[in-house]
Structure 1
Amino acid sequence: MPKVLISDKLSDAAVQIFRDNGVEVDFQPELGKDPGKLAQVIGEYDGLAIRSATKATADLLDKAANLKVIGRAGIGVDNVDIAAASARGIVVMNTPFGNSITTAEHAIAMMFAVARQIPAADASTQAGKWEKSKFMGSEITGKTLGLIGAGNIGSVVASRALGLKMKVIAFDPFLSQDRAREMGVEKVEDLGQMLGRADFITLHLPRTEKTANILSAEMIARIKPGARLINCARGGLVDEAAVAEALKSGRLAGAAFDVFAQEPAKENPLFGLPNVVCTPHLGASTSEAQENVALQVAEQMSDYLVRGAIANALNAPSVTAEEAPILKPWIALCGNLGSFAGQMTEHAIREIEIEYVGQVGQLNLKPLTSALTAAMLIPLVGEGGVNMVSAPIVARERGIRISETRKDAQGAFGSYVRLIVTTETQTRSVAGTIYSDGKPRFIQIKGINLEAEPSEFMLYTANTDTPGYIGALGTLLGELGINIATFALGRSARGDEAIALLGVDAVVPPAALERIQGLAQVRQAKALRF
């Protein structure tokens, strides 16, 4: 039974979801605030469910020997070292849709608040003043809203703004023209151009190396005079000091911030300025949203630990619960193909080409490609150096190009996978399929057909096709005390190159391999382990 630690506050209903799915739960909602104590116990768990208090640092993950998944109840994962998790094969999930509506509604509320100066007017009125002329507002209807980021939350904001009869323009490099038309917004290619047109500007994107300080002092200077700026996304996206100066000079008519570069925000250049509305990171703070993300993360983590399904992962391809049993044998086959190629390769790899032929090409290929790449790289970088999660990253770091091709069924097999590996010196291929018994088979090596079921220990030989080789190899293996379990043969043409792939009962030691290599017909001999 998988075991999950909940180290932050989650609802009782979320705890029950884990239990209903056959997952053992250790609910310690205050543990995330004590990193030392958390580090002492983290090695016992398969899953870690968190909110924002727990910090999943590289040091903590070093002690998480059994951890398979981290689930963040919420969208932000600033408190998780994703690179460290990926290196250890730990899937990191979040819940990007659970609080989208709540955060979008907060952005709309902040827009109204700053447009009509509601907080300041409320404070003045409750202080016994009646300063009606002081709080002249601005209508929303007919104004232009500029979205920076049009993903999950941005699209909800756009729909609400369109309902308010606003014109919506969006800057988002990942937004297609078709999607923009579907949303009813105008896509703007240049950020500076958008800033010069918008009456209200609101941000909805994560903080990354590329988006940090996206609204720099230079960009803020390009904002339309009299516009209002709203940030309910992430701190650090905006140069807050530059915003403060723009407010003081009158270029900006107002600003509303729910997030800040430094949180908790005890001091900030924006505090105390007129027509600035500030809230303490309340975007997701509704009872509905908090419950939704807690239930969602419990479902996602349970699906992964019990059924192998992956949803909303930030460092692994998604696999649905329905896909998992279908993909499982193909993932095993891809692991065998990758492992074979990795063990056979003796020079630096330049390119990996994967052909998915027939029905397998209709499946979700990302986990297949990840499994194949990881298995191929393990002989090169070591067992602890790569896994399904980190494989694409490791391949990219080593300059290995990876390509996928889907092809219609051809040849004797209705569905198979072929791996083509190009090194500094040669190009070689290996192909395999799944038989009706659900087990993988090698069906082609270097263009030579054969049928061999992978086993834990195997011996591969490339030899000249001459009479007596099978007898010579069998006799020598008998002398060496190596028992043959399976024996598959293939050749390119009579008298030309032939290959043999044998399943054996134990690992072939180096001394024995040297004897096999000494046979007159043998061109190459390799001991393999799967």
Structure 2
Amino acid sequence: MAPRVLVSDELSETAVQIFRDRGVEVDYMPKLGKDKEKLAEIIGQYDGLAIRSATKVTDKLLALAPNLKVIGRAGIGVDNVDIPAASRNGVIVMNTPFGNSITTAEHAIAMMFAVARQLPEASVSTHSGKWEKSRFMGVELYNKTLGVIGAGNIGGIVCDRALGLHMKVLAYDPFLSEERAKTMGVTKVELDDLLARADFITLHVPLTDKTRSILNAEALAKTKKGVRIINCARGGLVDEAALAEALKSGQVAGAAFDVFEVEPATESPLFGLPNVVVTPHLGASTTEAQENVALQVAEQMSDYLLTGAVQNALNMPSVTAEEAAVMGPWVKLAGHLGAFVGQMTDEPIKAINILYDGHVAEMNLAALNCAAIAGIMRATNPAVNMVSAPVIAKERGIQISTTQQEKSGAFDAYIKLTMVTETRERSIGGTVFSDGKPRFIQVKGINIDAEVGRHMLYTTNKDVPGIIGTLGGTLGKHGVNIANFTLGRAAAGEDAIAILYLDEPLPEAVKADLEATGLFQQVKPLEFEGV
């Protein structure tokens, strides 16, 4: 059955057609996002939801969407999506951070020009019939110093445009390397240095606990007197009340704001002040940008629903279509390893350790980790998936650790998963053979070669004669067919294990009969999805 997507906000017809051309059923209802009751009524029918800013995706709405797998936001901001709730419900949240990058960067440059030359006020004055040439004395951008807070995608474009204007550019960004700064042609500095030296400051960072009010009263007091500040990123990065006071005192000569702490902004301490340019969050508002983000979100959602590729997700590691094709068997193996140890314990889990050996260690380990954790968690909650599993693990205080190593054994690559509880450790190793099928290759340190099946039986015993006969005879008596039978032992007469691949689930009566023989320390039926 083809996946089904609901578009509940305005999206271009070209973007809607992308869904159709890719084989995704799509219902285009651009006004539905504003009708909460109707949206809640039908959301349960869809695998995907494509939105802009009008649709509000709340915890309550997600609770009514058991089939929902992905939410795509055409644009950068996802303030209208409850991401933690989406993660708990196993729903991927994607945005389109690059489709409007140039537009937003150009708006920041335009705002810098506007505040440097007081263009809006001069325009209003001239429209009213005045000719106040001496009132609007501006400053050049040429040879001035621009301080860029956040030199990522949009900030990097601003840096490039500023260099084209022959400005000197300082960049504060903890994630910017010295090498990258040199390539960009900017000088990497600490925040206090930027504040002290910049003639203009522009912000291009997301709003987080660390960046909230990054320009507060204390920071503004450190700025070069007469600085001009531009914010086209996120409201809340600058303390508006503190900035208003700095503008009144002359510490700051001007400001240009496209974003505000509360939006829609009907009032602000900045409104009405001289040489303050304000616009109603127009950073991404060009025809080109709106079309770009719409096309991008349609492509991303289609890729995920049809191939499993994850791009620009905010709560899930990204996986390209190429990675998804190569990693598919390994993702499945990681899930099976997790399912094995998850079904083997009824104790609270303290830690999960995952070892990647050989060429698998060079793959997208974040995605493989998610698959392994999801496999473990599904033992107690079948609704858990790769999105929700890490959230649940974190909530439970489970420590996750990953180790990578070069090829160290007989296999070109393998994964070993160890789960730690208060009383014991359980480990299992697996690999993917050339046929693309996962195999279990080690349990409890005992080497085996077990094909993974939908229904399996795991037993432990001492290495004594009669085990094979007892297992075969008991299952045969109850009419249970064995598709594959694997044995392993630590050494002659010591601990031994058996893993049986069955054609049907193990009846409780078979388990009881095997336990009654007294030969087995453990008799555990196992189930594996997606085999």
- TM-score w.r.t. the length of structure 1 is 0.95
1:50 aligned residue? 51
Q: Deviations over 1:473-521 (max 9, x none)?
A: 3333344554433211000111111000112344335564344334333
1:434 aligned residue? 432
Shift of 1:313: 0.8
Shift of 1:467: 1.1
Aligned residue runs from structure 1 range 386-465, under 5 A = 386-465=384-463
Q: Deviations over 1:376-424 (max 9, x none)?
A: 12224x223x320122222222222222233333333222211122332
Deviates more, 1:407-416 or 1:153-162: 407-416
Indicate conservation of the 8 Å contact 2:254/2:275, yes or no: yes
Residue 39 (1) aligns with residue 58 (2): no
Q: Distance in 1 between matches of 2:515 and 2:214?
A: 62
Indicate conservation of the 8 Å contact 2:216/2:243, yes or no: no
1:493 aligned residue? 491
Aligned residue runs from structure 1 range 101-140, under 5 A = 101-140=102-141
Indicate conservation of the 8 Å contact 1:211/1:237, yes or no: yes
1:30 aligned residue? 31
Shift of 1:209: 2.7
2:209 aligned residue? 209
Q: Distance in 1 between matches of 2:473 and 2:507?
A: 17
Indicate conservation of the 8 Å contact 1:232/1:283, yes or no: yes
Deviates more, 1:264-273 or 1:468-477: 468-477
Aligned residue runs from structure 1 range 471-510, under 5 A = 471-480=469-478, 482-508=480-506
SS in 1 for 2:379: helix
Q: Distance in 1 between matches of 2:145 and 2:297?
A: 36
Q: Distance in 1 between matches of 2:146 and 2:509?
A: 74
Shift of 1:323: 2.1
Deviates more, 1:466-475 or 1:114-123: 466-475
Residue 307 (1) aligns with residue 312 (2): no
Q: Distance in 1 between matches of 2:17 and 2:83?
A: 27
2:518 aligned residue? 520
Q: Distance in 1 between matches of 2:403 and 2:144?
A: 48
Deviates more, 1:348-357 or 1:325-334: 348-357
Q: Deviations over 1:40-63 (max 9, x none)?
A: 111111111111111111111111
Shift of 1:358: 2.3
Q: Distance in 1 between matches of 2:510 and 2:64?
A: 40
Indicate conservation of the 8 Å contact 1:358/1:409, yes or no: yes
1:275 aligned residue? 275
Q: Deviations over 1:425-476 (max 9, x none)?
A: 3333211122232221111111111111122221111110011222233333
Q: Percent identity?
A: 65
What one-letter code is carried by the residue in structure 1 that aligns with 2:474? L
SS in 1 for 2:315: coil
1:328 aligned residue? 328
Indicate conservation of the 8 Å contact 1:258/1:282, yes or no: yes
Q: Deviations over 1:293-337 (max 9, x none)?
A: 111111111111112211111111112122222221111111110
Q: Distance in 2 between matches of 1:357 and 1:231?
A: 47
2:285 aligned residue? 285
Structure 1 gaps, min length 5: none
1:342 aligned residue? 342
Q: Distance in 1 between matches of 2:185 and 2:421?
A: 49
Deviates more, 1:242-251 or 1:387-396: 387-396
Shift of 1:185: 1.9
Deviates more, 1:469-478 or 1:327-336: 469-478
Indicate conservation of the 8 Å contact 1:93/1:311, yes or no: yes
Match among 451, 465, 468 for residue 467 of structure 1: 465
SS in 2 for 1:41: helix
Q: Deviations over 1:106-132 (max 9, x none)?
A: 001101110111111111122221111
Q: Distance in 2 between matches of 1:42 and 1:178?
A: 48
2:15 aligned residue? 14
Aligned residue runs from structure 1 range 349-364, under 5 A = 349-364=349-364
The verdict on how the C-alpha distance between 1:345 and 1:177 changes in structure 2, with shifts beyond 3 A counting, is farther
1:373 aligned residue? 373
What one-letter code is carried by the residue in structure 2 that aligns with 1:486? N
CA RMSD of aligned residues (A): 1.7
Indicate conservation of the 8 Å contact 2:88/2:391, yes or no: no
Q: Distance in 1 between matches of 2:129 and 2:518?
A: 105
Indicate conservation of the 8 Å contact 1:338/1:372, yes or no: yes
Q: Distance in 1 between matches of 2:520 and 2:332?
A: 30
Q: Deviations over 1:207-239 (max 9, x none)?
A: 223322222222222222110111101112211
Aligned residue runs from structure 1 range 140-289, under 5 A = 140-189=141-190, 191-289=191-289
Deviates more, 1:246-255 or 1:344-353: 344-353
Indicate conservation of the 8 Å contact 1:89/1:387, yes or no: yes
Q: Deviations over 1:127-178 (max 9, x none)?
A: 2211111111111122221112111111111111111121212222222222
Indicate conservation of the 8 Å contact 2:319/2:364, yes or no: yes
Q: Distance in 1 between matches of 2:187 and 2:395?
A: 38
Q: Distance in 2 between matches of 1:383 and 1:289?
A: 41
SS in 2 for 1:379: coil
Q: Deviation above 6 Å: which 4+ runs of structure 1?
A: none
Q: Distance in 2 between matches of 1:195 and 1:378?
A: 51
Shift of 1:76: 0.7
Q: Distance in 2 between matches of 1:37 and 1:504?
A: 47
1:3 aligned residue? 4
Indicate conservation of the 8 Å contact 1:87/1:387, yes or no: no
Deviates more, 1:490-499 or 1:448-457: 448-457
1:96 aligned residue? 97
Q: Distance in 1 between matches of 2:420 and 2:108?
A: 51
Shift of 1:36: 1.2
Q: Distance in 2 between matches of 1:64 and 1:377?
A: 21
What one-letter code is carried by the residue in structure 1 that aligns with 2:382? E
Q: Distance in 2 between matches of 1:344 and 1:183?
A: 53
Deviates more, 1:401-410 or 1:131-140: 401-410
